Amino acid sequence: MTVTLADVAARARVSPATVSRVLNGNYPVAAATRERVLRAVDELDYVLNGPASSLAAATSDLVGILVNDIADPFFGIMAGAAQTEIGIQEAPDATGFARADAAGAAEAAGPHAPGAGRRRAGGQKLAVVCNTVGSPERELTYLTLLQRQRAAAVILTGGALEDADHGAAVTAALRRLAAAGTRVVLCGRPPLPDDDVAVAALAFDNRGGGRRLAEHLLALGHRTIGYVAGPLERTTTRHRLEGHREALRAAGLPAAGSGGAQDPLTLHGPYTRRSGYEATRELLRRQPGLTAVVAANDTVALGACAAVRDEGLRIPQDVSVAGFDDLPFSVDATPALTTVRLPLQEAGARAGRLAMGTEAPPPGGIATIGAELMARASTAPPRA
């Protein structure tokens, strides 16, 4: 029914081994033979059987990218950049066998260097993104599924859940993956607790970003700053908040809640516009003296802006609003949103390269990626 390697071999009058070698291009095959095989391949519309190939070779060309919410550009941008880096490589050079010899002249290995004439070893990788919807179970399930597929690499993006059990489970899963030869990369997520693992981590400087943003507001003269934080138990949420409070404390303001106590100026919620809207209305209600609102991210900030307006207040004259991430739409908000820029594109691309083994891992396996303050029109000095 379906065409197999053997069929192609028969048609090209060669052995299956030869066909395999032509297709994988990592073994010298005479040009004429190669030609014949290639012709047979597309006369027969042959498509390699991936599972069989992966089984025999004990490797697969799958690379998994885990994201918390695929509908959120924050993840979309990172995933897209990573996928671009991983995806379709330069086309293999079907002809030009002889040219390798010319190039070989530059080699020190002598006239009969055995490596001459070899073609791209790897082959096409299939980067796939998996949407965990922020659910711990799904995260684990996807990790198992990817291990099942013997994925070549796995990239985990975004903040991690701060649950001891779940953290341990994920760490164990990643360790298993790594042990099985899968490259593991963390992107925008803190390194694993014990860093003995061969897991590269690209962490965002959320704490620093949060601090700088707060400092900016303090410098403008704000003293009562509301904070619409992300979901509890997320590293991202905690780090941004810590940075924020660090700055407040440094300015001699009562950064309550740092001990986990109730902080009337901080409200937690999901990363949604709605959360931003509702939390901000609540904040405005209970703190009439509020002159600024910092949101967990840009999406939340949009909701905050809507809330401020619906209270009949102006941005930034009456209340300043700031976000985090600097997603593309932030500059288009009215007024343009002050936020903290995270180089999502770059980080994603780098993660992709690490996953491919194209780029050397950072020293210690850990790199921190800067978060830059983008002061724009949505923040200004408070009314005098």
Residues lying near DNA in the complex (CB under 7 A) are found at 2, 4-6, 13-18, 20-21, 23-24, 26-30, 32-33, 48-49, 52-53, 55-58, 112, 114, 117
Cβ contact 327:299 at 8 Å: yes
Looking only at residues 167 through 226 of this chain, which bind a copy of itself when binding is defined by CB under 8 A? 176, 180
Residue 89 touches which of DNA, a copy of itself, none (Cβ within 5-8 Å per kind): none
Kindly state the smallest distance separating residue 88's Cβ from a copy of itself, in Å.
5
Rounded to whole angstroms, how far apart are CA atoms 163 and 170?
Answer: 10
Residue 79 touches which of a copy of itself, DNA, none (Cβ within 5-8 Å per kind): a copy of itself
Q: Which range binds a copy of itself by CB under 8 A, 127-135, 184-192, 230-238, 317-325?
A: 127-135
Q: Which range binds a copy of itself by CB under 8 A, 29-37, 41-49, 235-243, 244-252?
A: 41-49
Kindly state the smallest distance separating residue 61's Cβ from DNA, in Å.
10
Kindly state the smallest distance separating residue 53's Cβ from DNA, in Å.
3
Residue 208 touches which of a copy of itself, DNA, none (Cβ within 5-8 Å per kind): none
Instruction: Give the H/E segment covering residue 171.
Output: helix 164-179
The structure tokens 């210690």 sit at 364
Residue 115 touches which of DNA, a copy of itself, none (Cβ within 5-8 Å per kind): none
Binding mask 300-329 for a copy of itself (x = CB under 8 A): --xx-xx--x------------------xx
Closest residue by Cα to residue 180 from 139, 149, 138: 149
DSSP string, 206-261: HHHHHHHHHHHHHHHT---EEEEE--TTBHHHHHHHHHHHHHHHHTT---TTTTS-
**Please, what's the b/e burial string for 26-59 (b: 16 or more CB within 10 A of its CB; e: otherwise)?**
eeebeeebbebbbebbeeeebebeeeebbeeeeb
Rounded to whole angstroms, how far apart are CA atoms 189 and 233?
Answer: 13
